[in-house]
Each structure stands twice: as structure tokens, then as C-alpha cells.
Amino acid sequence: MLDVDKIREDFPILKRKINGYPLIYFDNAATSQKPIQVISAVTEFYEHHNANIHRAVYTLSQEASELYEKAHEEVASFINAKGIEETIFVRGTTEAINLVAYAWGLHKLRKEDEVLVTLMEHHSNIVPWENLSKIRGFRVKYARIREDGTLDYQSLEDMISKKTKLVCVSHVSNVTGVVNDVKKIAKLAHEFDALVLVDGAQSAPHMPVDVKDLSVDFFAFSGHKMLAPTGIGVLYGKRELLEKMEPFHGGGEMIREVSYDSARDRCSISWNELPWKFEAGTPNSCGGIGLMEAVRYLKNIGMDNVVSYEKELTDYAADRLKECKKVTVFGPKNPKVKCGIIPLNVEGMSSHDVALLLDSYGIMLRSGFHCAQPLHQLIGLKSSARASFYIYNTKAEIDRLITVLQEIEQA
């Protein structure tokens, strides 16, 4: 079980006060706070090991390279990938999805093809496919969602066909916290010889992820949502797919050799081995090392403990919110299909007004569309306020949220 008091001691920012009130941070679906272990790892790198990786034989470069490669190994182990060849470091989930779109989709998708996307997706899993469809001419189709925000699996099954080349789905909705059965979806997609891309931005930080067991082809997630620095993320891809894909960016590091042919007045280029083939230029080395430390921190706690504790918090918050007369909670009522996220609104107030009032009491919630406008549109919301929990949140903080919401109701 989690020792939450001990965990909270690792997060310096939680000692802050906002407007004279203790900071209560409920915007973890947007980004998480960072433990001192991660902050120290980044500082240690810059103070003692900073150099460009894979570029030199001197001591600092060798140390930095070893740390960066070790970071790939830790991440591969965390999601049960076969090895570092299947773990590409990128800036975040958005870049990971765009990498698949332009390194795989640009070369593979044709006019007669279809890409199937769910209507609960974050914009980063919609926009790249719509943009690419304008270039390649394929069709983007959208699997429907139910009124409670859950995926309509029958809609997905009805839409998939031999024309479908890729199915794109969130593991966990960033608006409602709905957990999708990606293993079931992957099985269905593979029956039609389609690939599966999973947006794991909201699952990798909060629950055990085993890419082999899920049998997905691509899995994308961000470090900053799981205790790591911003600007670092991961694309998992099956090795046999990545080896056949063209690089996304061109430049240093991603090449094995560039030779000039004077007779043809051309340069001949061969690609580097995985994963460096997709990591052009000077990488975010310190971000990778911060991610490694974040992964170690989470592994030390145990991801089973993380998901269990967050479920306890979510269930508690859902029950306590029923005491608020003017608060409406959206999403499925069944807690078994949810993970750590509760979208809500207060009668007669915009989501931004709710967030601003809560901020005046030191409580941080997200407001707006959460980069998922189609989902809001389909469940009839102009916007929503969103409370999202993590390992350092407490029931006492939720109690404080309820007290303030009740004060707002009476104002």
C-alpha cells in the first residue's frame, strides 16, 4: 500500500501556499508534479555529466551516453517492450503520434484506405490523421461513443473492415477517465490486418502497462504526466514495424553513413539502428534521465498500488460530490471503467469561473475542452471543470474541495 504522507514529502511544490491556502493540485491529467528524486537526477546530470551523447570519446560524453541508453532500458522494462529498439524517445505523446502518421502513414496509406479513430480522442490523435488524409486521400472514420462517454464497441466493430489500416484509440479518456479495452480492440483490428495505435498518455502514469500482453502495434505516452520533466515522451513500436518505417526527422544521429557520389551529384544515406534512427539531432538527454528516475520512482511504489489508490480516491470523490446540490458529474457511473478523472460543472457557472473560484482557495483544477472538443460536443457540454488525481493526493484534499464547492453553491 502507498504511504501517502511519505510520498508527499518527496514533492517540494506541495509545501506552497496559494492565496494563503495550502496548495491542492488536482490537474494531474494535464501534467504531474515532480518528486525531489527526479529534480535531483536532472540537476546531477547538468552538474556532473552534461555532454552531447554518441558524439565523442571523452569521459563526459561516454557517461551521458550510458545514462541515456540506460533510460531507454528502464522505460522498455516499465512497459515490457522487448528492448530499447522498441522505445523511441520523443517530446511527448503528440510527437509520437505524428511520428507514426508521417513515418508510417505517409508511406503506407492510399486513397482506398481508412483510418478508424474514436470520438473520445484527444486532438493529438485526430488532427494528424485529418491533416494526413488531405495529403494521401484516405478516409478518416469515427467510432461513436455512448451518452455516458464510454466507447460504443459495436460502432467500432461495425466500422472496421478490410479497408481499415489503422485503429487509433485512447487507453484512458483524458476527459472522463474511461478505460478502454485496448486488448479487445487490438484483437479485432488484427483480424482485419489493421494496426493499432494507442494513446497511453493517461494510462502509463496510472496503471500497469504491458505492451506485449495488450498486443498493440504502437503505444505513445508522455513523461511529464508521470513525474518526469516536460519535453520527453515515448513511442513504443513493434520492432518489425519500426525497421520498415522511414525516419520522421533527418539530421545527425539518425544516420549510419552519408556519402557523396560525385558522378550522380547525390548523397547516399543509410539509417542508424533502432531506436536512434528516429531520434535525430541532439536529444533531450536530461529529460530522458529524468524520465528514467520517474520510472524508477513509480516502479518502487508499484503500479498495482498506484491504480488501486487512485481508484480509491476517485470512488471517494464521486461519493462526496453527491453531497453538492448544484454540481453535475459527467461520465460513466460504473467506477470499474474509470481511472482517476472526474469532469464536473456547477449550475449557473462556466467551467472557467469554477476553476478561478477554486484557485482563490488554492485548489487547482483544469477547465475548458481539455483538447477533446468532439467528446464535449457529443455529450452536450460547452466545457467542463476536471479534477484528476495522483499518488500524492489525499481524501482530506477531496474533503476540502467539497467544502469549497458547497460554499460556492451558497454564494
Among 7-16, 72-81, 365-374, the range scoring the smallest mean pLDDT is 365-374
Q: Are 42 and 289 in contact (CB under 8 A)?
A: yes
Whether the per-residue pLDDT at 372 is higher than 70: the answer is yes
d(CA 212, CA 85): 14
Which positions are catalytic? Answer: 371
- Name the pLDDT band for 368 (thresholds 50, 70, 90): confident
Whether the per-residue pLDDT at 206 is higher than 90: the answer is yes
Q: Are 341 and 225 in contact (CB under 8 A)?
A: no
What domains does the chain contain, in order, with CATH numbers?
Answer: 4-30+302-410 (3.90.1150.10), 39-299 (3.40.640.10)
- Name the pLDDT band for 342 (thresholds 50, 70, 90): very high
Radius of gyration of the chain (CA): 22
The H or E element containing residue 172 is none
pLDDT digits (tens, 9 = 90+) for 219-247: 999 999 999 999 999 999 999 999 999 99
Q: Indicate the Cα dihedral angle 196, 197, 200, 202, nearest 10°.
A: -100
The C-alpha cell 480492440 sits at 185
| Amino acid, res. 134 | K
- Name the pLDDT band for 332 (thresholds 50, 70, 90): confident
Per-residue pLDDT, averaged over 261-277, amounts to 94
Q: Which long-range contacts (CB under 8 A, 24 or more apart) does 305-311 make?
A: 305/1, 305/2, 306/2, 306/206, 306/207, 306/391, 307/206, 307/207, 307/208, 307/339, 309/1, 309/2, 309/4, 309/391, 310/206, 310/339, 310/340, 310/389, 310/390, 310/391, 311/335, 311/338, 311/339, 311/340
Q: Are 171 and 184 in contact (CB under 8 A)?
A: no
Whether the per-residue pLDDT at 336 is higher than 80: the answer is no
Per-residue pLDDT, averaged over 7-24, amounts to 98
Whether the per-residue pLDDT at 304 is higher than 70: the answer is yes
pLDDT of residue 338: 78
- Name the pLDDT band for 407 (thresholds 50, 70, 90): very high
pTM of the model: 0.96
Whether the per-residue pLDDT at 381 is higher than 90: the answer is no
Among 78-92, 198-212, 224-238, 331-345, the range scoring the smallest mean pLDDT is 331-345
Distant-in-sequence, close-in-space partners of 101: CB < 8 Å, separation ≥ 6? 128, 129, 131, 132
pLDDT digits (tens, 9 = 90+) for 97-136: 999 999 999 999 999 999 999 999 999 999 999 999 999 9
pLDDT of residue 382: 83
Q: List the beta strands (DSSP E) in 173-254.
A: 195-199, 218-222, 233-237
The H or E element containing residue 255 is strand 255-261
Mean pLDDT value across the chain: 95
pLDDT of residue 376: 84
Give the single-character DSSP code of 115. Answer: E
Q: Indicate the Cα dihedral angle 338, 315, 351, 226, nearest 10°.
A: -60
Residues constituting the chain: 411
pLDDT of residue 335: 63
